[in-house]
Copies of this chain bind each other. A is one copy, B any other.
Amino acid sequence: MKCVVCKGPAIIDIRRHNANFCTDHFLEQCRRQVAKAIDEFAMIERGERALVAVSGGKDSLAVWDLLVELGYDVDGLYVGLGIGEYSDVSGTYARDFARSRELTLLEVDLPGTYGYDIPTGSRAARRAPCSACGLSKRHLFDAAALEGGYDVLVTGHNLDDEAAVLMGNTLHWHTEYLGRQLPVLPARDGFPRKVKPLVRLGERETAAYCVVRGIDYLVDECPMAAGNRHLSYKAALNDIELASPGAKHAFYFGFLDRAAERFATEAEADREDLRPCASCGAPTTSEVCAFCRLVQRAGGSLPDGGPTAVAVELGPTRARVDEPSALEGVR
Protein backbone atom coordinates (compact mmCIF):
# COMPACT_ATOMS: atom_id res chain seq x y z
CA MET A 1 0.00 0.00 0.00
CA LYS A 2 1.68 3.17 -1.25
CA CYS A 3 0.98 6.82 -0.54
CA VAL A 4 -0.87 8.35 -3.49
CA VAL A 5 1.24 11.53 -3.15
CA CYS A 6 4.84 10.40 -2.52
CA LYS A 7 4.69 6.60 -3.16
CA GLY A 8 6.17 5.99 0.33
CA PRO A 9 4.62 3.39 2.66
CA ALA A 10 0.97 4.28 3.34
CA ILE A 11 -0.57 4.07 6.81
CA ILE A 12 -4.22 4.50 5.84
CA ASP A 13 -6.54 3.86 2.90
CA ILE A 14 -9.54 6.11 2.35
CA ARG A 15 -11.84 4.19 0.06
CA ARG A 16 -14.21 7.04 -0.82
CA HIS A 17 -11.20 8.98 -2.15
CA ASN A 18 -9.75 5.78 -3.65
CA ALA A 19 -6.45 6.85 -2.08
CA ASN A 20 -3.82 5.73 0.44
CA PHE A 21 -1.63 8.13 2.41
CA CYS A 22 1.64 8.09 4.36
CA THR A 23 1.73 9.79 7.78
CA ASP A 24 2.73 13.23 6.51
CA HIS A 25 0.39 13.30 3.55
CA PHE A 26 -2.47 11.96 5.64
CA LEU A 27 -2.05 14.90 8.04
CA GLU A 28 -1.88 17.23 5.06
CA GLN A 29 -5.03 15.62 3.66
CA CYS A 30 -6.89 16.20 6.94
CA ARG A 31 -5.78 19.83 7.10
CA ARG A 32 -6.73 20.36 3.45
CA GLN A 33 -10.22 18.90 3.97
CA VAL A 34 -10.81 21.11 7.01
CA ALA A 35 -9.48 24.20 5.22
CA LYS A 36 -11.74 23.37 2.27
CA ALA A 37 -14.83 23.05 4.50
CA ILE A 38 -14.01 26.33 6.28
CA ASP A 39 -13.51 28.09 2.97
CA GLU A 40 -16.46 26.53 1.12
CA PHE A 41 -18.97 27.44 3.82
CA ALA A 42 -17.31 30.66 5.11
CA MET A 43 -17.05 29.19 8.62
CA ILE A 44 -14.30 31.27 10.27
CA GLU A 45 -12.52 34.46 9.18
CA ARG A 46 -8.88 35.10 9.96
CA GLY A 47 -8.57 37.08 13.21
CA GLU A 48 -11.85 35.82 14.66
CA ARG A 49 -11.90 34.18 18.09
CA ALA A 50 -13.29 30.64 18.09
CA LEU A 51 -14.48 28.45 20.96
CA VAL A 52 -14.48 24.69 20.39
CA ALA A 53 -16.80 22.43 22.38
CA VAL A 54 -14.49 19.71 23.71
CA SER A 55 -15.72 16.34 24.99
CA GLY A 56 -12.37 14.57 25.32
CA GLY A 57 -13.25 12.33 22.35
CA LYS A 58 -11.39 12.07 19.06
CA ASP A 59 -13.47 14.52 17.05
CA SER A 60 -13.41 17.53 19.35
CA LEU A 61 -9.69 17.15 20.11
CA ALA A 62 -8.91 16.64 16.42
CA VAL A 63 -10.82 19.75 15.34
CA TRP A 64 -9.16 21.84 18.08
CA ASP A 65 -5.73 20.61 17.00
CA LEU A 66 -6.48 21.09 13.30
CA LEU A 67 -7.73 24.65 13.78
CA VAL A 68 -4.64 25.55 15.83
CA GLU A 69 -2.43 23.97 13.13
CA LEU A 70 -4.25 26.03 10.50
CA GLY A 71 -3.44 29.19 12.48
CA TYR A 72 -6.81 29.99 14.05
CA ASP A 73 -7.23 31.48 17.52
CA VAL A 74 -9.20 28.79 19.36
CA ASP A 75 -10.00 28.19 23.01
CA GLY A 76 -11.72 25.06 24.33
CA LEU A 77 -14.86 24.57 26.41
CA TYR A 78 -15.45 21.43 28.43
CA VAL A 79 -18.78 20.72 30.16
CA GLY A 80 -18.73 18.20 33.02
CA LEU A 81 -22.03 16.37 32.65
CA GLY A 82 -21.89 14.18 35.74
CA ILE A 83 -22.07 10.89 33.86
CA GLY A 84 -20.06 8.99 36.48
CA GLU A 85 -16.57 7.80 35.63
CA TYR A 86 -17.14 8.56 31.95
CA SER A 87 -17.26 12.29 32.70
CA ASP A 88 -14.30 12.16 35.09
CA VAL A 89 -12.13 10.47 32.48
CA SER A 90 -13.29 12.61 29.55
CA GLY A 91 -12.38 15.80 31.45
CA THR A 92 -8.87 14.46 32.04
CA TYR A 93 -8.35 13.95 28.30
CA ALA A 94 -9.58 17.49 27.54
CA ARG A 95 -7.31 19.04 30.20
CA ASP A 96 -4.27 16.96 29.20
CA PHE A 97 -4.64 18.04 25.59
CA ALA A 98 -4.98 21.73 26.50
CA ARG A 99 -2.00 21.50 28.84
CA SER A 100 0.20 19.77 26.23
CA ARG A 101 -0.53 22.51 23.67
CA GLU A 102 -0.59 25.38 26.20
CA LEU A 103 -4.13 26.24 25.13
CA THR A 104 -6.91 27.89 27.13
CA LEU A 105 -9.66 25.55 28.35
CA LEU A 106 -12.89 26.88 29.87
CA GLU A 107 -14.99 24.58 32.03
CA VAL A 108 -18.57 24.31 33.25
CA ASP A 109 -19.46 21.81 35.95
CA LEU A 110 -23.13 20.95 35.44
CA PRO A 111 -23.74 19.16 38.80
CA GLY A 112 -21.66 21.67 40.80
CA THR A 113 -23.21 24.78 39.27
CA TYR A 114 -26.72 23.78 38.19
CA GLY A 115 -27.40 21.06 40.77
CA TYR A 116 -28.19 18.13 38.45
CA ASP A 117 -26.38 15.57 36.35
CA ILE A 118 -27.49 14.03 33.04
CA PRO A 119 -28.72 10.69 34.44
CA THR A 120 -30.86 12.51 37.05
CA GLY A 121 -32.02 15.22 34.66
CA SER A 122 -32.98 12.67 32.04
CA ARG A 123 -35.09 10.65 34.46
CA ALA A 124 -36.70 13.69 36.10
CA ALA A 125 -37.60 15.34 32.80
CA ARG A 126 -38.60 12.01 31.19
CA ARG A 127 -36.34 12.77 28.28
CA ALA A 128 -33.97 10.29 26.64
CA PRO A 129 -30.47 10.85 28.09
CA CYS A 130 -29.10 12.03 24.73
CA SER A 131 -31.94 14.55 24.51
CA ALA A 132 -31.37 16.00 28.02
CA CYS A 133 -27.62 16.05 27.38
CA GLY A 134 -27.86 17.73 23.97
CA LEU A 135 -30.22 20.35 25.33
CA SER A 136 -27.96 21.14 28.32
CA LYS A 137 -24.81 21.31 26.20
CA ARG A 138 -26.33 23.53 23.51
CA HIS A 139 -27.49 26.01 26.14
CA LEU A 140 -24.16 26.12 27.96
CA PHE A 141 -22.09 26.27 24.76
CA ASP A 142 -24.15 29.20 23.46
CA ALA A 143 -24.02 31.08 26.77
CA ALA A 144 -20.27 30.56 27.24
CA ALA A 145 -19.47 31.60 23.65
CA LEU A 146 -21.52 34.81 23.90
CA GLU A 147 -20.28 35.76 27.37
CA GLY A 148 -16.68 35.10 26.37
CA GLY A 149 -17.02 37.36 23.32
CA TYR A 150 -16.21 34.56 20.87
CA ASP A 151 -17.14 35.09 17.23
CA VAL A 152 -17.88 31.47 16.51
CA LEU A 153 -18.68 28.20 18.29
CA VAL A 154 -17.02 25.12 16.79
CA THR A 155 -18.21 21.53 17.20
CA GLY A 156 -16.47 18.33 16.15
CA HIS A 157 -19.34 16.77 14.17
CA ASN A 158 -17.79 14.66 11.42
CA LEU A 159 -19.20 13.27 8.17
CA ASP A 160 -20.44 10.10 9.88
CA ASP A 161 -22.29 12.15 12.51
CA GLU A 162 -23.90 14.46 9.99
CA ALA A 163 -24.90 11.64 7.63
CA ALA A 164 -26.46 9.68 10.52
CA VAL A 165 -28.39 12.73 11.78
CA LEU A 166 -29.52 13.39 8.22
CA MET A 167 -30.67 9.78 7.91
CA GLY A 168 -32.71 10.14 11.11
CA ASN A 169 -34.20 13.41 9.91
CA THR A 170 -35.15 11.98 6.51
CA LEU A 171 -36.46 8.68 7.91
CA HIS A 172 -38.87 10.79 9.98
CA TRP A 173 -39.09 13.71 7.55
CA HIS A 174 -38.47 16.16 10.39
CA THR A 175 -38.79 19.06 7.99
CA GLU A 176 -37.89 21.76 10.54
CA TYR A 177 -34.68 19.94 11.50
CA LEU A 178 -33.81 19.33 7.85
CA GLY A 179 -33.99 23.08 7.28
CA ARG A 180 -31.42 23.65 10.00
CA GLN A 181 -29.00 20.80 9.31
CA LEU A 182 -26.24 22.93 7.83
CA PRO A 183 -22.47 23.08 8.39
CA VAL A 184 -22.83 26.77 9.37
CA LEU A 185 -25.64 28.35 11.34
CA PRO A 186 -25.24 32.15 11.21
CA ALA A 187 -25.21 34.20 14.41
CA ARG A 188 -28.46 35.84 15.44
CA ASP A 189 -29.82 37.46 18.59
CA GLY A 190 -28.76 35.31 21.48
CA PHE A 191 -27.05 32.60 19.43
CA PRO A 192 -23.42 32.57 18.31
CA ARG A 193 -22.45 31.43 14.81
CA LYS A 194 -22.00 27.64 14.88
CA VAL A 195 -19.73 25.73 12.53
CA LYS A 196 -18.70 22.11 11.85
CA PRO A 197 -15.26 22.09 10.21
CA LEU A 198 -14.97 18.26 10.20
CA VAL A 199 -17.88 17.60 7.81
CA ARG A 200 -15.46 16.46 5.10
CA LEU A 201 -13.72 13.90 7.37
CA GLY A 202 -15.06 10.49 8.40
CA GLU A 203 -14.75 9.29 11.99
CA ARG A 204 -12.16 6.70 11.01
CA GLU A 205 -10.06 9.61 9.75
CA THR A 206 -10.43 11.74 12.89
CA ALA A 207 -9.45 8.70 15.00
CA ALA A 208 -6.41 8.08 12.79
CA TYR A 209 -5.53 11.78 12.93
CA CYS A 210 -5.45 11.67 16.74
CA VAL A 211 -3.33 8.52 16.78
CA VAL A 212 -0.84 9.95 14.30
CA ARG A 213 -0.68 13.27 16.15
CA GLY A 214 -0.18 11.55 19.51
CA ILE A 215 -3.45 12.92 20.89
CA ASP A 216 -4.81 10.73 23.69
CA TYR A 217 -8.60 10.63 23.57
CA LEU A 218 -11.42 8.80 25.28
CA VAL A 219 -12.24 5.87 22.98
CA ASP A 220 -15.40 4.67 24.75
CA GLU A 221 -18.82 5.75 23.56
CA CYS A 222 -20.86 7.49 26.24
CA PRO A 223 -22.49 4.70 28.31
CA MET A 224 -25.85 6.48 28.14
CA ALA A 225 -25.89 6.44 24.31
CA ALA A 226 -25.91 2.64 24.04
CA GLY A 227 -28.74 1.46 21.81
CA ASN A 228 -29.85 4.91 20.70
CA ARG A 229 -31.19 5.37 17.20
CA HIS A 230 -28.30 7.54 16.08
CA LEU A 231 -25.95 4.56 16.48
CA SER A 232 -28.31 2.29 14.51
CA TYR A 233 -28.37 4.84 11.67
CA LYS A 234 -24.57 4.91 11.75
CA ALA A 235 -24.54 1.11 11.46
CA ALA A 236 -26.97 1.18 8.52
CA LEU A 237 -24.85 3.82 6.77
CA ASN A 238 -21.68 1.83 7.41
CA ASP A 239 -23.22 -1.16 5.59
CA ILE A 240 -24.20 1.08 2.68
CA GLU A 241 -20.77 2.77 2.60
CA LEU A 242 -19.05 -0.63 2.53
CA ALA A 243 -20.96 -1.56 -0.63
CA SER A 244 -20.68 1.95 -2.16
CA PRO A 245 -17.67 3.94 -0.92
CA GLY A 246 -18.57 7.62 -0.95
CA ALA A 247 -22.26 7.01 -0.18
CA LYS A 248 -22.18 9.06 3.05
CA HIS A 249 -20.44 11.98 1.38
CA ALA A 250 -22.89 11.91 -1.54
CA PHE A 251 -25.84 11.73 0.87
CA TYR A 252 -24.76 14.68 3.02
CA PHE A 253 -23.31 16.97 0.37
CA GLY A 254 -26.07 16.09 -2.11
CA PHE A 255 -28.52 17.20 0.56
CA LEU A 256 -26.70 20.51 1.01
CA ASP A 257 -26.50 21.06 -2.76
CA ARG A 258 -29.94 20.02 -3.89
CA ALA A 259 -32.38 19.63 -1.00
CA ALA A 260 -31.62 21.67 2.13
CA GLU A 261 -33.05 24.94 0.85
CA ARG A 262 -36.38 23.24 0.13
CA PHE A 263 -36.82 22.92 3.90
CA ALA A 264 -35.62 26.43 4.80
CA THR A 265 -39.10 27.88 5.32
CA GLU A 266 -39.93 25.90 8.47
CA ALA A 267 -36.50 26.62 9.99
CA GLU A 268 -36.96 30.35 9.41
CA ALA A 269 -40.51 30.34 10.77
CA ASP A 270 -39.10 28.92 14.01
CA ARG A 271 -36.63 31.79 14.28
CA GLU A 272 -39.21 34.51 13.93
CA ASP A 273 -40.99 33.41 17.10
CA LEU A 274 -37.95 33.81 19.37
CA ARG A 275 -38.10 35.92 22.56
CA PRO A 276 -35.96 36.02 25.75
CA CYS A 277 -36.53 33.29 28.33
CA ALA A 278 -38.29 34.75 31.39
CA SER A 279 -35.84 32.92 33.63
CA CYS A 280 -32.38 33.11 32.02
CA GLY A 281 -32.83 35.48 29.06
CA ALA A 282 -31.71 32.99 26.39
CA PRO A 283 -33.72 33.06 23.14
CA THR A 284 -36.66 30.66 23.15
CA THR A 285 -40.03 30.12 21.46
CA SER A 286 -41.79 29.60 24.80
CA GLU A 287 -42.18 31.62 28.04
CA VAL A 288 -39.37 29.73 29.80
CA CYS A 289 -36.65 28.05 27.73
CA ALA A 290 -36.27 24.25 27.56
CA PHE A 291 -33.01 24.38 29.52
CA CYS A 292 -34.55 26.26 32.45
CA ARG A 293 -37.51 23.86 32.43
CA LEU A 294 -35.08 20.93 32.54
CA VAL A 295 -33.10 22.48 35.42
CA GLN A 296 -36.30 23.02 37.35
CA ARG A 297 -37.71 19.52 36.74
CA ALA A 298 -34.34 17.98 37.62
CA GLY A 299 -34.43 19.73 41.01
CA GLY A 300 -31.51 22.02 40.18
CA SER A 301 -31.28 25.82 40.06
CA LEU A 302 -29.59 28.58 38.06
CA PRO A 303 -26.48 30.03 39.75
CA ASP A 304 -26.62 33.60 41.11
CA GLY A 305 -24.64 35.57 38.54
CA GLY A 306 -21.03 34.88 37.58
CA PRO A 307 -19.79 33.65 34.19
CA THR A 308 -21.13 30.41 32.71
CA ALA A 309 -17.66 29.01 32.08
CA VAL A 310 -14.31 29.72 33.73
CA ALA A 311 -10.77 29.10 32.51
CA VAL A 312 -9.00 26.14 34.12
CA GLU A 313 -5.57 26.33 35.79
CA LEU A 314 -3.84 23.51 33.94
CA GLY A 315 -0.38 23.55 35.54
CA PRO A 316 2.93 22.98 33.75
CA THR A 317 3.10 21.50 30.27
CA ARG A 318 3.95 17.81 30.19
CA ALA A 319 6.31 16.22 27.69
CA ARG A 320 4.68 15.39 24.35
CA VAL A 321 3.72 11.75 23.82
CA ASP A 322 5.78 10.08 21.09
CA GLU A 323 3.97 9.75 17.79
CA PRO A 324 3.20 6.10 17.02
CA SER A 325 4.31 4.85 13.63
CA ALA A 326 1.32 2.68 12.82
CA LEU A 327 -2.43 2.93 13.12
CA GLU A 328 -3.16 -0.41 14.70
CA GLY A 329 -6.22 -0.19 16.83
CA VAL A 330 -7.82 2.70 14.97
CA ARG A 331 -11.51 2.03 14.80
Contact = CB atoms under 8 A, between A and B. Distances in A.
Contacts of A15: none
Interface in A253-272: 254-255, 257-259, 262-263
A239 B229 contact: no
A171 B254 CA distance: 8
A16 to B, nearest CB: 14
Given A173-B255, A258-B175, A239 B250 contact: no
Interface string A33-55: 00000000000000000000000
Contacts of A172: 250-251, 254
Contact of A175 (B170, B240, B259): B259
A236 interface: yes
A319 interface: no
Contacts of A237: 236
A244 B262 CA distance: 27
A243 B232 CA distance: 8
A244 B263 CA distance: 25
B239 A232 contact: yes
**Identical copies in the complex:** 2
Interface in A214-253: 229, 232-233, 235-237, 239-240, 243-244, 247, 250-251
Contacts of A239: 232, 235-236, 239
Interface of A: 170-173, 175, 229, 232-233, 235-237, 239-240, 243-244, 247, 250-251, 254-255, 257-259, 262-263
A131 to B, nearest CB: 16
A250 B257 CA distance: 25
B243 A229 contact: yes
Interface centre among A171, A233, A237 (most CB of B within 10 A): A171
A320 to B, nearest CB: 42
A180 to B, nearest CB: 15
A240 B251 contact: no
A244 B251 CA distance: 22
A260 to B, nearest CB: 10
Contacts of A235: 239
B247 A240 contact: no
A233 to B, nearest CB: 7
